[in-house]
Structure 1
Amino acid sequence: MTDRRHLLSIGVGLGTALLLSDTAAAASAPDLTQLRRRVARGRSAFRAARYADLTERLPALRRDALAVRQLLTGAPGRAASGVLAQVHMLASELGVKNGDSQAAWAHARAAVSAAEVSGKATVLAEATRICATPLRRQGRSEDAVQLLRDTLGQLDAESSQAEPAHVGAAGALALTASYCAALAGRETTALSLVDIAKDAAARLARERRPYTGELSAHQIHLYQVGVHHLLGQDAVAVRIARQIDPRALPAGERRARLGTDTARALLALGDYEQAFTELLAVESAAPEEARRPSLRLLTSEILTHRPNLVGLRDFAVRTGATPA
């Protein structure tokens, strides 16, 4: 079994330093129920790709989550640690969107630290999954696959008695691990992990107990587009993308992900006009996504090869890919 702390080079320094330095805020900390509602609103902002809104919310949310964690002990304290982990997960995901890999990594590690204290397997699974993106951006895709597969094994989601939340968490881990494996060029591993996610989604579809997570056939197809692109199978990626109804995806951020990954596959195939059409779809689904650094690079690539595409220069100026 992987030593998570060794693999992540994790310590409690970030989370603990913030916690101990914020004693003044503890006296006015909100109650845990109120804090959960604020985290839910922050998650909704992220799903809708309202990143500027979330950027404004996060400092106060993190301060209050730390203060609540400091006030509570026992079971309430563990619950507060779970909420704190969710706040750090949001901050890590926002760091990824903003192209700030250092912040994404710091918050991902802090999320794992808080999740371990919470004692909730699904919170720890999600916090560990969040670590994958900054890990692979450090060139450590193999480490990310190892970490995620070990965490997947610890969930025991294959048991017939497994809770739906554990099955869903396992499927999400498998999808993220599949993407990392594809980035590392491990085709067999990547595709086998997609199969694990498919099995999890099929189990949930048969499950009579309630499941409120996002694992679904549509989510799996979305990941397959990116996985096949990374494996150099761009025609397959585009074919799968064309089978997805964007309206079936749960939020603007996910629809933007579909457009982005499809555009990447189309660019690899040399279809610049259709790739630009996908970037327009990204802007329509989530305008702030179209202004992200990675999307501006795709726009610049299309400009290099097809500068005279109708509307392209206006789009490039509008999204910051070129100066006005």
Structure 2
Amino acid sequence: MKVCIIGAGSIGGIVAVRLSHLCDLTVVLRGANLSAVTRNGIRLITKSGESKKVRVKTVESLAGLSKQDLIVLSVKAHQIKILVNDIKKIIHNKTIILTMQNGIPWWYFCKLDGPFNNYHLNSVDPKGFILSNINSDLIIGTVIYMASQTIKPGIIKSNEEEKIAFGELDGSTSERLKKICNLFTEAGFKANLKTDIRSEIWLKLWGNSSFNPVSALTHNTLLDICKSKFGKELILKMCYEIQKVGEYFGAQFSISMEERVEVAKNVGHHKTSMLQDIEYGKDIELDALLGSVIELGEIAKIQTPHLKSIYACCNLLQNKIKSTCGRLKIDI
């Protein structure tokens, strides 16, 4: 099986290490990460302290790659648009594309019965460009449950059990879905097959759309936020708004908000991906995580005042960092 991982940051890097011995693997990287991995390979440090290092084939772009059987799309949501035309050149009619982005994906309303079938969200896919250029038949949705961070280029730390939920967009349990789950199970992941991947997205979104932006603004870890009376109260208010929007669009929440906060607390002193991006001066996934929920809330006529306030603050912070080519990190 020919497999291409597009974007090997912390999540894509873990997938690369785990799959490296099971397929013909190519990893698409850039910058310092490309140089480090090409020279030294990828090193994964697990929660238990075990270290594993693998060599992988690296490229800087998709140009020149042959048709791929499996594409793991693990770049940030706002980076997908510029890759679309190159992705189209490396797919065949049975290629599987795994989308590993946080937030509401561009394909959310594909193969979904009801009045919003094939609707596109401007916050994540302006003018429906991605939707109209990537065949939704090729996509298997995923929800990633991994707390991880890039220690330095080519070195990744995994801070919890590596779990991934997989689901067809139409809710079926297809043979290809079973095949992918088996592949990732063999690779060492806890791979779960889901018949309602969208509810799984909302379950994770509870945490992503609340903890990520609050941590980015305050530079607190998950545990810090949960231990704070004011932090926890704010998170629960944001989660309430997220749940109302999700339920309007059919999401089922299998646990309570309080239980979801407890899950985050148990991860400990972990810096969210959005906080890590702020520290490195990178663009944050603001629209995929918050803008999309706010947009859906407006469609449903559901008020989301806490989400909008946090969005505004994060937008100001992101614009300042971009305009100054800066970064913001508190060294202790």
Same fold (TM over 0.5): no
Structure number with greater CO (CA < 8 Å, separation at least 6) is 2
Give the number of the structure whose alpha-carbon radius of gyration is greater: 1
In proportion to residue count, which structure has more helix? 1
TM-score range relative to shorter protein:
0.3 to 0.5
> Could you tell me the TM-score, scaled by structure 1's length?
0.33
